[in-house]
């Protein structure tokens, strides 16, 4: 084989890692907020440079620049740790990493030039590299554990890589190579294992990182499609879709539909401003969510109009829920400080089989309309007779105008 061919052959793993680095940078350019992709790309680029240099540099040149190549490799290692840390929102402990890095390089220098000792050199450098990788791990385990299997696979492959890196010289011996062989020699068992494990894990991380990023992007798009941007609760479209799943589950019956509407919301906007109106909508949404159970649905159908689907509940208990919400809203003194009490009207209907959703929504809406006409700040439940009560202002106009606007 010619020297040129030989170079290509030994450079192949480094070039493959460099290619992955380029791929990750392109992914980062498309998804700028996913900065861990950039750190991972930087990690691979630095590792590829270091490994490539070690693969083709003549012995004497490499021996002279071993610390430089080691520095590149350690920097790449730190970027890899940064990538995981950025993704899991933890620290890489940069000072500790710097200390370990400097000590590893000092050991590399000392056991190469001052007191040549291959065994110490390889062990200490590998141990330092693995340690830098492990620095963010305790915080990752202490924080919230990843929920999705892709993130778990990513975490565990990272930990495996870090431990293998630490034990690489020992592993080389365990694999049956009686001598380590200097990693200055491109053909040594240690060197081949270093290259192959780096390439294998780089490939694995890239696939897992890209898959996890795609999944996150899809989740984010789905969340945005399904949720109201202001209140973060379900929008009308997602309510219908999710309601069908609840209605298909026989264990969740009887089901109640609550249509709720904030009273005189236009006046709140006019007197306190649109921003305060938005705060009121957010406060109402969180109050509604606080008062329902995990299987129940809370949606904003538009403006100041909300719909709730309550599962495993009869009409009496559904009414109790609505009254509890009314009480919580009216006793709040922070959203409209020194202002009129916040009130809401409700209409409640029942569902006993999956085909009744449209009808139940219509009934709840009509009952809500009745509650508004009867004076607002009340709950109307299907099957009951409500006498028409003359119109009353729950937020008297004069009171609003005299208010300190508190914007």
Ligand X SMILES: Nc1nc2c(ncn2[C@@H]2O[C@H](COP(=O)(O)OP(=O)(O)OP(=O)(O)O)[C@@H](O)[C@H]2O)c(=O)[nH]1
Q: Residue 41 or residue 339: which is nearer to ligand X going by CB? A: 339
Binding site for ligand X (CB under 6 A): 230, 261-267, 269, 274, 277-278, 281, 303-304, 372, 376
Nearest-approach distance from CB 407 to ligand X, in angstroms: 12
Output DSSP code: residue 296: -
Cβ atoms of 315 and 256 within 8 Å: the answer is yes
Give least dist CB 282 to ligand X, A. 10
> Is residue 392 annotated as a catalytic residue, yes or no?
no
| Whether the Cβ atoms of residue 77 and residue 89 lie closer than 8 Å to each other | no
Cβ atoms of residues 130 and 162 within 8 Å:
yes
Smaller CB separation from ligand X, 39 or 265: 265
Considering the complex, what minimum distance in angstroms separates the CB of residue 266 from ligand X? 3
Which of residues 135 and 258 has its CB atom nearest to ligand X in the complex?
A: 258
Minimum separation from the CB atom of position 230 to ligand X (A) = 5
**407 Cβ partners below 8 Å, 6+ apart?**
272, 273, 275, 276
Q: Which is nearer to ligand X, 31 or 373 (CB)?
A: 373
CA-to-CA separations, 100 to 260, 327, 347, 349, 398, in angstroms, rounded: 61, 60, 66, 67, 71
User: CB nearest ligand X: which residue?
Assistant: 277
Give the burial string for 93-125 (b: 16+ CB within 10 Å, else e).
beeebeebbeebbebbeebbeeeeebeebbbbb
| CB 407, CB 273: distance < 8 Å | yes
The answer to whether 377 touches 394, Cβ cutoff 8 Å, is yes
Element (H, E) at 306: strand 305-310
Smallest gap from Cβ 261 to ligand X, in A, equals 5
Strand partners, 305: 261, 302
Distances, alpha carbon 348 to alpha carbons 30, 71, 140, 176, 210, in Å: 47, 69, 46, 75, 47
Smaller CB distance to ligand X: residue 311 or 335?
A: 335
Shortest distance (Å) from residue 300 CB to ligand X: 9
Catalytic residue among 179, 241, 304, 328: 304
Nearer to ligand X, 311 or 345 (CB): 345
Tell me the catalytic residues. 304
């Amino acid at each position: 084989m010619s020297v040129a061919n030989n170079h290509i052959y030994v450079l192949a793993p480094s070039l493959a890692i460099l290619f992955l680095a380029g791929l990750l940078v392109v992914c980062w350019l498309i998804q700028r907020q996913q900065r861990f992709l950039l750190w991972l790309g930087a990690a691979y680029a630095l590792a590829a440079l270091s490994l490539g240099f070690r693969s083709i540099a003549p012995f004497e040149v490499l021996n002279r620049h071993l610390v430089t190549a080691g520095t590149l490799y350690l920097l790449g290692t730190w970027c890899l740790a940064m990538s995981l840390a950025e993704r899991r929102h933890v620290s890489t402990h940069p000072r500790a990493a710097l200390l370990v890095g400097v000590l590893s390089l000092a050991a590399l220098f000392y056991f190469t030039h001052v007191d040549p000792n291959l065994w110490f050199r390889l062990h200490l450098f590998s141990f330092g590299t693995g340690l830098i990788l492990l620095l963010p791990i305790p915080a990752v385990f202490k924080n919230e554990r990843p929920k999705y299997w892709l993130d778990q696979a990513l975490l565990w492959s990272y930990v495996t890589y870090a431990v293998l890196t630490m034990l690489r010289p020992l592993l080389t011996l365990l694999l049956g190579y009686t001598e380590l062989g200097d990693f200055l020699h491109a053909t040594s068992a240690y060197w081949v294992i270093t290259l192959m494990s780096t390439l294998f894990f780089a490939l694995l991380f890239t696939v897992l990182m890209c898959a996890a990023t795609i999944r996150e992007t899809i989740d984010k798009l789905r969340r945005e499609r399904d949720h109201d941007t202001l209140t973060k609760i379900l929008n009308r479209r997602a309510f219908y879709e999710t309601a069908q799943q609840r209605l298909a589950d026989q264990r969740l019956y009887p089901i109640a539909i609550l249509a709720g509407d904030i009273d005189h919301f236009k006046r709140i906007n006019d007197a306190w401003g649109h921003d305060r109106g938005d705060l009121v909508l957010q406060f109402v949404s969180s109050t509604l969510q606080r008062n329902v159970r995990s299987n129940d649905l809370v949606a904003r159908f538009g403006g100041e109009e909300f719909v709730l689907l309550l599962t495993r509940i009869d009409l009496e208990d559904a009414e109790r829920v609505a009254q509890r919400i009314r009480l919580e809203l009216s006793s709040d003194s922070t959203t409209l400080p020194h202002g009129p009490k916040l009130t809401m009207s409700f209409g409640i209907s029942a569902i006993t089989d999956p085909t009744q959703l449209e009808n139940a929504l219509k009934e709840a809406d009509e009952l809500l309309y009745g509650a508004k006409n009867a004076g607002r700040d009340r709950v109307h439940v299907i099957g009951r007779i409500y006498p028409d009560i003359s119109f009353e202002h729950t937020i008297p106009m004069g009171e609003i105008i005299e208010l300190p606007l508190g914007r």
